[in-house]
């Protein structure tokens, strides 16, 4: 078993992540819904790229 590293565990990012998860009762769906709501409220526009064309990777027989 790997010993916990206190430097890694107590980073600001991990504390924020834990707080957001606790606010949503650690329910992944509620965490995602809250994130989407924050994104919608931010007023920023997101970038949606078209799907890439799939290249034919099969080799001729």
**Neighbour count for residue 10 (Cβ, 10 Å):** 9
* Residue 30 confidence (pLDDT): 96
* Residue 3 confidence (pLDDT): 80
* Residue 31 confidence (pLDDT): 95
* Residue 20 confidence (pLDDT): 94
Burial class (CB in 10 A: 0-12, 13-18, 19+), 24: middle
Residues 49, 44: Cα–Cα separation, whole Å: 16
pLDDT beneath 70, residues of the chain: 1-2, 8-9, 60-61
* Residue 9 confidence (pLDDT): 66
Is residue 23 within 8 Å of 34, Cβ to Cβ? Answer: yes
Domain edges within the chain: 6-40
């Amino acid at each position: 078993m790997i010993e916990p590293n206190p430097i890694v565990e107590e980073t600001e990012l991990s504390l924020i992540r834990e707080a957001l998860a606790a606010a949503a009762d650690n329910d992944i769906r509620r965490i995602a819904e809250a994130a989407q709501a924050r994104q919608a409220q931010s007023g920023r526009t997101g970038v949606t790229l078209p799907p890439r064309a799939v290249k034919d990777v099969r080799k001729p027989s």
